[in-house]
Structure 1
């Protein structure tokens, strides 16, 4: 019986070592991680030009365009190690009218168990100050997507457009929120950090999807409330645009992870 007992212990120890070895092998190398941006409104799926949503007070809106810039993505694993996506590969435009733009595929991510993501909304001053030549292909992408006023005026970090009605405005009236930085005087670039509800397991043969829900209700109804009757066209405003930037930075939540 003792021999059988010791043999069982030896087999268990060998099994543990083998599992540990397999785990070490499983988390070596590189893989992909996909970040999915799922635009919504107050818990409902976002439908452009179709659904009417409650805004602030009696105002109701119908949304026609939603675009925003996501940049400078960093991933943190369970041990606190941070992987930073190379800067020149880390600028993306999420456009509700383009389904493919809502899935950001990050390649070359070190295999690991990731628990947190950090990214910027907009283009940081460091990148902008590299000049037009330093923007690479992203400058052309932004121009084609309507995400720039001009090179001198800078990038639009957020485009949010549609029509609204209210108790006082019964006819559908256009609104447009275009938010960006204002030179070096007003920097509206915001960083967002989100903790995952479960681990995202990046492996050479496993590409997790981080499902981020983006609640656009926060743009008008966040830290600062905006009544469209008071401000139906907000493009460049050194007072309101920082408030819009703060509202927009609060609209992101990691809903779940697909491993």
Structure 2
């Protein structure tokens, strides 16, 4: 009898073990979708991100003090990958998000992906050339040129250039010369509007950036039906100035559709850092 009980106990243990194994390594099925999100948590170096905080200014590597009045950027074309190389691209119609630093409710890019364990994610910072040139009927919601980003000067579309602003970063700094902007209010403003997707017949500036994030160090994403896995990224906007290219507010207070914008865009590839994953 004891021998029989031992066999039954062993069989039960094996079943439980197999069950747990199946829970942690589910079968990849593109039709078996579950909630997944990426959180874009804006910071400034080692400090909290805040809008119009003139009482405690930020300081970049050039020693220039500044405050921030606006931060907005597009995230699109989200993809996930497992350790064994299985990948899934979120359908484009469900994969465009506008993160607004002044509105914390926009910091999550919420999608659905197959139930699985993911060790890597990737996304586009900006709007891809194909979508940028589609008929307006295919560019709705945050991509609507007439309404994207709101009506308070936060619009994310260049009407004169017929293209999206991928990354809009604005603020004030006394490091900027008085005669740069000629602002009647006396504000010394900087404006970094980074965009440009290249062209077909006449190639131009291409500042579209694909960001790839390895999740293995700070926690893989275990996507399941009964919960929402969330990858928490810090977005360090200080890297706009302090990245691979040193950018000075005094020397370059306004960067828009110019060749210099490629230097700022190169810095944008460094602003994302995986902090942790919530499963």
Is the structural similarity TM-score above 0.5? Answer: yes
1:189 positional shift: 0.5
State the Cα deviation string for residues 30-65 of structure 1 (Å, max 9, x = none): 321121110001121101111411113221110111
Question: 1:9 Cα shift?
Answer: 4.9
In the TM superposition, residue 245 of structure 1 has moved relative to its aligned partner by: 1.1
Aligned residues: 254
Aligned match of 2:132: 128
Does 2:179 match 1:175? Answer: no
Counterpart-to-counterpart distance in 2, 1:129 and 1:168: 38
For 2:82 and 2:133, locate their aligned partners in 1 and report how far apart those are by CA, in whole Å. Answer: 31
SS of match in other structure, 2:170: strand
Question: What do the CA deviations read for 1:169-201 (whole angstroms, capped 9, x no partner)?
Answer: 7x8511000000065122110000001121211
Aligned equivalent of 1:94: 99
**Which residue of the other structure, out of 163, 168, 178, is the alignment partner of 2:172?**
163
Q: Report the CA distance shift for 1:48/1:94 in structure 2 as closer, same or farther (over 3 A).
A: same
Task: Give the match for residue 37 of structure 1.
Answer: 40
Give yes or no for contact 1:41–1:215 (8 Å, CA) kept in 2. yes
Superposed, 1:235-250 pairs within 5 Å as 235-237=256-258, 239-250=259-270
Aligned residues: CA RMSD: 2.3
Q: 1:119 aligns with which of 112, 120, 123?
A: 123
Could you tell me which runs of 5 or more consecutive residues in structure 1 were left unpaired when the two chains were aligned: none
Query: What per-residue deviation string (whole Å, max 9, x for no partner) do you get for residues 226-251 of structure 1?
Result: 111111111211x2111111101210
SS in 1 for 2:134: coil
| Distance change in 2, residues 1:150/1:133 (3 Å) | same
1:47 paired residue number: 50
Q: Which runs of 5+ in 2 are unaligned?
A: 179-185
Q: How does 1:211-222 map to 2 (within 5 A)?
A: 211-222=232-243
C-alpha deviation, 1:6, in angstroms: 6.8
Between Structure 1 and Structure 2, which shows a larger proportion of helix residues? 1
Q: CA deviation at 1:133?
A: 3.1
- Matches of 1:167 and 1:174 in 2, distance apart? 7
Change in Cα spacing, 1:229 to 1:192, as seen in structure 2 (3 Å) is: same
Q: Normalising by structure 2, what TM-score?
A: 0.83
User: What TM-score comes out, normalization by structure 1 length?
Assistant: 0.89
Cα distance in 2 for partners of 1:102, 1:220 equals 22
d(CA) in 2 for partners of 1:21, 1:221? 49
State the secondary structure of the residue aligned to 1:198: coil
Greater share of residues in strand: 1
Judged with a 3 Å threshold, the aligned counterparts in structure 2 of structure 1 residues 64 and 143 are, in CA distance, closer, same or farther, namely closer
